[in-house]
Amino acid sequence: MKTIQIETILRDNKLKVTPKRTLILGTLVSSKLPLSVADILVRLPQNADIDTVTVYRNLEAFVSADIVKEYAIKKGMTHYEYKSGHSHHHLVCTNCNRIEDFTICAAQDISKKVLNQSKCFTSITSHNFELFGLCKICSK
Amino acid sequence: MKTIQIETILRDNKLKVTPKRTLILGTLVSSKLPLSVADILVRLPQNADIDTVTVYRNLEAFVSADIVKEYAIKKGMTHYEYKSGHSHHHLVCTNCNRIEDFTICAAQDISKKVLNQSKCFTSITSHNFELFGLCKICSK
DNA sequence: ATATAAATGCAAATAATTTGCATTCGTATT
DNA sequence: AATACGAATGCAAATTATTTGCATTTATAT
């Protein structure tokens, strides 16, 4: 995706446009998978010279602006994914952490039923759904 | 639950029976909610004198023995829950972290469909499913 | 009774993330 | 175009969760 398009996303979401912020969001937008902070640092252009703290603070800003979603896929490390139009879930290899997307989900129906039965909740606003298994390489 | 019953669980799962291990598992068994390590330490009898490391190492043993499940419910902290017979999922309040259990789940069906469509996975062995919303108290 | 492997505690090491503060930069407004 | 203000950034240090090393104690099979 072009830099200008990334800048448009930032402006549309009332986030100040800076070169580093643009690079960080660009990294997320062009990734098909959720990325950890370490992943992002590796994928940033080598001459970008962006501090780890800057990555954390920008991710926080993106999450607050609701353009990036946080996942606790792996114990002890948060992953971040750009919220593109099409919602999907993740199938994760328990051995190598490879991720494949899928779109089937029954959370809407289930949410309604659960809310009807619930004693102490008045609304359900979101859900997490992840499948775990073994990929072809790791199942050998 | 009685101490003797906890010890039976340990023996049945080929885990050495020690007083501290029994107390730690007992804390999990008697909790209706997933607990963090900090939660466990607080709930342990005040005279138990159990080191944090001991809690971590026992949780690791329980998870390996498949009698306790790990959750990444909250960013940056792992929660642990005793695997009792009835499987269930969690409805979590995004404001106060209150948890309510529910049992409806479509993961079996969905797993089959996803596996059929998958390009690079050969098996699906488990899933996570959590709903988030607001409880009565927090929605005011 | 005892040998052996596992459990425990303490201290220190890691790893992920956050905070404080000084400096720089983006942008709305002259 | 100049400028002022708040937001963005970097560096260092602090926090928090978790893990590791090693010496000592303990559970359990023989």
Is the predicted pLDDT of residue A137 greater than 90, yes or no? Answer: yes
For residue A131, the cross-strand partners are A91, B127
Length of chain B: 140
Exposure letters B18-34 (e unless 16+ CB within 10 A, then b): eeebbbbbbbbbeeeeb
Q: Are A132 and B113 in contact (CB < 8 Å)?
A: no
Residue A123 CA to residue A119 CA, distance in Å, equals 11
pLDDT band at A66 (very low <50, low <70, confident <90, very high): very high
Contact: B121, A136; criterion CB under 8 Å: yes
Q: Are B100 and A120 in contact (CB under 8 A)?
A: yes
Q: What is the C-alpha to C-alpha distance for residues A93 and A138, in angstroms, rounded to an integer?
A: 8
**CB of B95 less than 8 A from some CB of A:** no
Q: Which residue has the tokens 């790990």?
A: B70
- The alpha-carbon gap from B137 to the nearest alpha carbon of chain A, in Å, equals 8
Pairing of strands B89-93, B121-135: parallel
What secondary structure letter does DSSP report for A50? -
Is residue B115 pLDDT above 90, yes or no?
A: yes
Q: Please tell me which residue lies nearest to nucleotide C27, judged from CA to C1'.
A: A16
Q: Is the CB of residue B116 less than 8 Å away from at least one CB of chain A?
A: no
Distance CA A25, CA B74 (A): 24
The predicted pLDDT at position B23 comes to: 98
Residue listed under structure tokens 């998978």: A33
Specify the pLDDT at position A87. 87
Write down the pTM of the prediction.
Answer: 0.90
pLDDT of res. B119: 94
The mean pLDDT value for A75-103 works out to: 91
User: What was the pLDDT predicted at A75?
Assistant: 87
Return the pLDDT at A90: 95
Q: Return residues 50-89 of B near A (CB < 8 Å).
A: 70, 72-76, 78
> pLDDT tens digits, residue range B56-102?
999 999 999 999 999 988 888 999 999 988 889 999 998 888 889 99
What is the per-residue pLDDT across A109-128, written as a single tens digit (0 to 9) for each? 999 999 999 999 999 999 99
B36 touches strand D (CB under 7 A): yes
Cα distance between residue B75 and residue A56, in whole Å? 14
Return the pLDDT at B95.
81
Hey, which residues does A133 pair with through a beta bridge?
A93, B124
CA angle B69, B70, B73 (to 5 degrees): 125
Under the phi-then-psi rule, with left for phi > 0, alpha for psi from -120 to 50, and beta for the rest, what region is A76?
A: left
DSSP single-letter state for residue A35: B
Return the pLDDT at B73.
83
